[in-house]
């Protein structure tokens, strides 16, 4: 048997693991990728051998226009082409033409950067509030459920607020 001849049972298992690797559940996806890599190494094959550079459409969902922009930026990076080969079948969904390897890479990067994006938005929000002093006078009783940010978070917010333009809310009243 040559290195590219894969027993049918192993091929089916690899195809199943490849499908599972596309799961939204990060734990399930990670476990599937680990198992898939072990099988690939055992049989001396690559993903292209079980799904040879066949291009197909992958479906991605997003919640906001910013997530859509992030997703398309990642697709552009992975494909090394600017917004090539995609369409929107319905709102908040994009279908992208990718190989199996590209599909896995886009899914992995999109999950990673979307999580990081959401964390950074929280920091930006705090920095924006600080920069524009959009807060009231609170008593200690009001702050019972408030979780104080760490020094690192405070430093990041202060540093970020330096780059934010201060908005004059009263200018519009003139």
Please indicate, yes or no, if residue 142 is contained in any of the structural domains: no
Host domain of residue 1: 1-52
- CA terminus-to-terminus distance, the chain: 82
Please indicate, yes or no, if residue 33 is contained in any of the structural domains: yes
Please indicate, yes or no, if residue 15 is contained in any of the structural domains: yes
Q: Residue 34's closest CA among 50, 17, 49? A: 17
Please indicate, yes or no, if residue 122 is contained in any of the structural domains: no
Please indicate, yes or no, if residue 25 is contained in any of the structural domains: yes
Q: Stretch 122-151: mean pLDDT, rounded?
A: 73
DSSP bridge partners of 98 = 56
Give me the number of domains the chain comprises: 1
pTM as predicted: 0.63
Confidence of residue 169 (pLDDT cuts 50, 70, 90): confident
Please indicate, yes or no, if residue 5 is contained in any of the structural domains: yes
Q: Residue 67's closest CA among 17, 132, 23, 111? A: 111
Residue 83's pLDDT is: 66
Please indicate, yes or no, if residue 118 is contained in any of the structural domains: no
What is the percent of the chain where pLDDT is above 70? 84
Please indicate, yes or no, if residue 90 is contained in any of the structural domains: no
């Amino acid at each position: 048997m040559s290195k590219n001849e894969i027993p049918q049972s192993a091929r089916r298992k690899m195809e199943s693991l490849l499908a599972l690797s596309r799961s939204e559940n990060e734990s399930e996806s990670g476990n599937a990728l680990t198992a898939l890599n072990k099988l690939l190494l055992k049989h001396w094959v690559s993903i292209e051998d079980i799904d040879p550079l066949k291009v197909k459409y992958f479906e991605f969902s997003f919640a906001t226009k910013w997530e859509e922009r992030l997703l398309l930026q990642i697709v552009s990076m992975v494909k090394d082409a600017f917004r090539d080969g995609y369409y929107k079948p319905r709102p908040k969904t994009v279908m992208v033409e990718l190989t199996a390897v590209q599909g896995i890479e886009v899914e992995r990067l999109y999950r990673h950067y979307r999580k990081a994006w959401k964390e950074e938005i929280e920091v930006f929000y705090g920095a924006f509030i600080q920069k524009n002093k959009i807060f009231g006078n609170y008593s200690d009783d009001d702050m019972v459920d408030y979780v104080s940010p760490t020094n690192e978070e405070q430093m990041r917010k202060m540093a970020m607020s330096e780059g934010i333009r201060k908005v004059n809310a009263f200018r519009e009243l003139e």
